[in-house]
Amino acid sequence: MDVFLKQAPELFFDQEQWRHFCARFETRDIALVRISRPPYDLLGFHRAGDASLPASEEAKIEHIEATYQLGIALVGAFKTKLISGEVEATGIPPLFDEHIPIAAEQWRGLWPEFADDCAMGTTRFDQVRVGWSGNPKAQAAALLRALTDWLRQRAITGPAPKKTLFVEAQRQFGDAVPVRLFNAAYATVHKRRRGRPRKEK
């Protein structure tokens, strides 16, 4: 089971750290775009118009630095998985028209541009897909954890029919979400295997 790069944070990031990073921006999509570019300038992952930036200069500098450290830790841990071979990736390099494996060592010179499903650096790979290497049980366990965590977070926004949640999960994690894993995660979170989640009293 593999997913496009834009879906990787929900599967391969430390989820608590990723939530903290997302909370520093207006939406998860904005956070994804920001972590998709190396933080070269003085604002790091932030931009001048970000609503989350504090008004005072001292607090702003501290906020930018904390976001920088968090983003670098997330990307660094993800690249470590790729370089070690724990996670494998494929992509389409220049002058190719089909996916090829991206060698683990190449990730030392690549930055994962999650929002665009590509990797940039010493070369470029488009339509990058990633997945746990060679261990189906590890893949299934990781996806189950991610689905369970996602359903808990999704429940905060209010109840929805199970079919709707499954469609949203496919958008979040890709079409490779097995029904049996979704059912297991749903049962864990909502204490039932079918129907609309119960409303909190």
Question: pLDDT per residue over 32-79, tens digit each?
Answer: 999 999 999 999 999 998 999 999 999 999 999 999 999 999 999 999
**Is residue 133 predicted with pLDDT exceeding 70?**
yes
Structure tokens at 145: 């954890």
Between the CA of residue 164 and those of 128, 175, 197, what are the distances in Å?
27, 14, 11
* Structure letter (DSSP) for residue 102: P
State the Rg of the chain over Cα.
18
Contacts 24+ apart (CB under 8 A), 89-92: 89/5, 89/119, 89/125, 89/128, 89/129, 89/130, 90/2, 90/128, 90/129, 91/118, 91/119, 91/125, 91/126, 91/127, 91/128, 91/129, 92/125, 92/126, 92/127
Estimate to the nearest angstrom the gap between the alpha carbon of 93 and the chain centroid. 22
Q: Residue 196 — very low, low, confident or very high, per pLDDT cuts 50/70/90? A: low
> Which residues lie across from 111 on neighbouring strands?
120
- Note the pLDDT of residue 194: 53
H or E element at residue 94: none
Domain boundaries, the chain: 3-132, 136-190
Q: Is 28 helix (H, G, I), strand (E, B) or coil?
A: helix
Estimate to the nearest angstrom the gap between the alpha carbon of 36 and the chain centroid. 11
Are residues 182 and 154 in contact, defined by beta-carbon separation less than 8 angstroms?
no
Selection from 55, 50, 58, 61 nearest residue 24 by Cα? 50
Instruction: Convert the pLDDT of each residue in 70-82 to its tens digit.
Output: 999 999 999 999 9
- Mean pLDDT over residues 100-115, rounded? 96
**Is residue 192 predicted with pLDDT exceeding 80?**
no
Tokens 């998709």 identify what position?
Answer: 36
- Note the pLDDT of residue 201: 46
